[in-house]
A and B are shown apart, each in its own frame.
Chain A
Amino acid sequence: MSAFHRRRSAFAAAAAFAAMAVSAPAQPDMSSDGLLRDHLWSQLTALPKGRRPVVGLALSGGAARAAAHTGVLTVLTRARFPIDVVAGTSMGAIIGALYAAGDPPRRLRKIMRSITPEIGTNWGAMSLLRLVLGQKPLTNRKTEEALIREFGPRRFEELAKPFACVAMDLDSGEKIVFRDGPVSRAVRASSSLPGIIEPVEYRQRFLVDGGVIDDVPVDAAKLLGAQWVLASVTLSDFTRSRPRTALQGLQQVLDIRGSILAREQSREANFVIEPAVGAIPFYDTSKIPEAIDAGIVAAQQRLPAAEERLILSSLPWLLKTPGPSTAAAEIVRK
């Protein structure tokens, strides 16, 4: 629900409705809680960066499922949810990089809807045959090229918002958090699904998808200075699938491991939005519009609670707002 929608809902029941041909809005939030939330939210969003907590957004991996993040971003942007730093893993890294570069949610949704397996990889009959028979993985070089086409050969430092993405060093098993250097190569490394896409050689390391080790990069957002982190998590519902091939089996194992890991890491976040995309297979790009819609719906439902949580964490900052109230607060403290 956007800020306006909730404000209006809060008042809708308050306003006297005569006999209406059209019934009043379905979920009137006539509570005092709704009114106060709206009041404090408008004050919080008016505070400049530096005079409120640094808010981070952590975007999980999940390939096609993770397109739901663009729906979440759509709702957060409409609600003027302050997002100061962004961290992402795998598809979350791709979306996060685009968002941090300044792409508005509308553009992100358009990009996501245009995604097919061929766009980011050398997907095709021959390459798939080589993958299955010759165990030669696909390459996602095209992801890097597409990112460069979208925002140029940018470095992390040149992005509109601080951004980090996560990959794993295949030799040491270390988590690598990228915060500097060229963005597109790091994002490519973060989204190299092990076993299917070849590792990316970068900075003397062999790097694979960060989802293996850090699917919900709350820590990376904190490294960027976030004091309050909202995580958007697009878990798979692995209980619904019955793997029949070796690749599907491998994917199932990765999904289970990723889900367990993601649940643990989500606990580090101050707030979690979890779009209902569990049934969407990671490779099914035809379901991306469905994932985006699920992101919108989930964020819409959870937004009031997210705002309340951030308001409560920001109260010390809100009370410091200059004006007569600050002076009075100071007197009370003395």
Chain B
Amino acid sequence: MRAPLVGLRGLEAAAAILLLLQASPAAAFWTLRARDPLKEVSALFAAKNYDEVIKIVTPQFIAKLKTKNAAKAQWLRAESLAEMGRFSRALSVFELATKLYPRDQRLQLGFAELLRGSDLPKQAQAVFEGILRKDPASPQARLGLARTQQALGYYDRSAGNYRLALEDSSQARNPDVWRLYAETLSDSGRWDEAKTAVEKALSLRQDAAAYLDLALIQRSQGRLDAAIAALKEARERPNASPALGRALGLWLLEAHKAPEALQEARKLLKTDPRDSLAHWVAAMADQSLGHLIDARREMRLAADFSEKTPFVAAVSQKILKTWGDR
């Protein structure tokens, strides 16, 4: 007799839910939503509505959550604060949260990345190392540590950690990780290995950044013509910055190609007549070509932007002095 009774009760319950859904869908939504109290907040975060996230995820809100959700809520709050540019507040939220939930790797990673981004690499390194002590296979922590050590100038250690990070298949498919690895190898003067790494990045995605890295490596190897060609490739990519043109102008000067350098500088000045470095390139190119009046005029213009580009201005003023001007 019991089994039919139980079956009947189950049926009754299902019917009650159906009735509830028909009668009040909103009530049913709120009942289901209660299972994931952070769903709404997560959606706000995904929609970059950080201000709202901060308003909702208050310490009182977090206090009502279970451990796992509370940790996630802290993460959402800290990340939102960081996105809003309130870095010191975000750091203090992360600092407290990582102490409250020391096993939550997402919090630890967020904290470490924010420390790295806040120019606190020493502290970031310690947090990344802490994560790796608990989980040596964490590719994000490995990558974060490599980047932090790169920023600190510990290039050999950084290269070692990039190598380990690249053992993870998802990282090995990421051209940016190969590029960063190439950069740290270049930083320690290991040009051939760096070139291999940047070629790997280029095989995955031919973007301006990778061409630029290739150009820099080639220039450091003394292959200036190849470097100039690679830099031109970088400049051809979509949304290339004028800084690439400025670099090209300087490198053409190094290659004793003054007419081309002058052409490059003029192109830049057409877009921005207040480009002090383009004036400097033009001045040096004009000087090389014997256009001495033009050279002085351009150098004076380069010297005029001491607030925007103090070093360009200082060098230009000193050169003008050497030339007997000013």
Contacts and interface: CB of A to CB of B under 8 A. Distances in A.
Contact of B176 (A10, A11, A21, A299): A21
B323 A42 contact: no
Interface in A70-105: 74-75, 78
Nearest to B287: A328
B208 A16 contact: yes
B240 A16 contact: yes
Contact of A33 (B143, B147, B310): B310
Contacts of A24: 209
Interface residues of B, number: 71
B16 interface: no
Interface stretch (A141-149, A157-165, A255-263, A307-315): A307-315
Interface in A298-321: 299-300, 308, 311-312, 315-316, 319
Contact of B315 (A8, A38, A312): A312
B250 A39 contact: yes
A4 interface: yes
A328 B288 contact: yes
B117 to A, nearest CB: 6
Interface stretch (B45-53, B70-78, B182-190): B182-190
A2 B208 CA distance: 22
A15 B322 contact: no
B153 to A, nearest CB: 4
Given A17-B209, A332-B324, A36 B154 contact: no
B288 A15 contact: no
B209 A22 contact: no
Contacts of B216: 4, 7-8, 11
Contacts of B250: 35-36, 38-39
A18 interface: yes
A82 B237 CA distance: 37
B292 A331 contact: yes
B323 A333 contact: yes
Interface centre among B116, B209, B234 (most CB of A within 10 A): B209
B54 interface: no
B109 interface: no
A126 interface: no
A27 interface: yes
Given A12-B209, A297-B153, A323 B256 contact: yes
Contacts of B150: 5
Interface string B65-102: 00000000000000000000000000000000000000
B44 interface: no
Given A17-B209, A33-B311, A296-B154, A22 B246 contact: no
A329 B312 contact: no
A325 interface: yes
Nearest to A319: B322
A179 interface: no
Given A26-B151, A27-B119, A331-B290, A15 B246 contact: no
Interface residues of A, number: 56
A14 B241 contact: yes
A2 to B, nearest CB: 5
A169 to B, nearest CB: 40
Interface in A36-71: 36-40, 42-43
Interface in B296-326: 296, 309-312, 314-315, 318-319, 322-324
A31 interface: yes
A311 B174 CA distance: 38
Contacts of B322: 315-316, 319, 329
Contacts of B174: 21-22
B4 interface: no
Nearest to A20: B176
Contacts of B220: 4
B14 interface: no
B207 interface: yes
B311 A36 contact: yes
A32 interface: yes
B226 interface: no
Interface stretch (B28-36, B130-138, B274-282): B274-282
Given A8-B183, A315-B318, A15 B277 contact: no
A294 B250 CA distance: 34
Nearest to A311: B315
B264 interface: no
Contacts of B242: 14
Nearest to A334: B324
Contacts of A14: 212, 240-244, 247
Interface centre among B216, B239, B258, B275 (most CB of A within 10 A): B216
Per CB-CB distance, the 4 closest pairs between chain A and chain B, nearest first, are: A14-B243, A32-B277, A16-B239, A33-B311
21 contacts: A2-B188, A4-B183, A4-B189, A8-B186, A14-B241, A15-B209, A15-B211, A15-B241, A21-B176, A26-B151, A32-B309, A39-B254, A43-B254, A75-B153, A293-B152, A328-B288, A328-B292, A331-B292, A332-B292, A332-B295, A332-B323
Given A35-B243, A42-B219, A315-B319, 17 more contacts: A2-B189, A15-B244, A22-B176, A26-B116, A32-B243, A32-B312, A35-B250, A39-B253, A42-B254, A296-B152, A299-B153, A319-B319, A319-B322, A323-B288, A332-B295, A332-B323, A333-B324
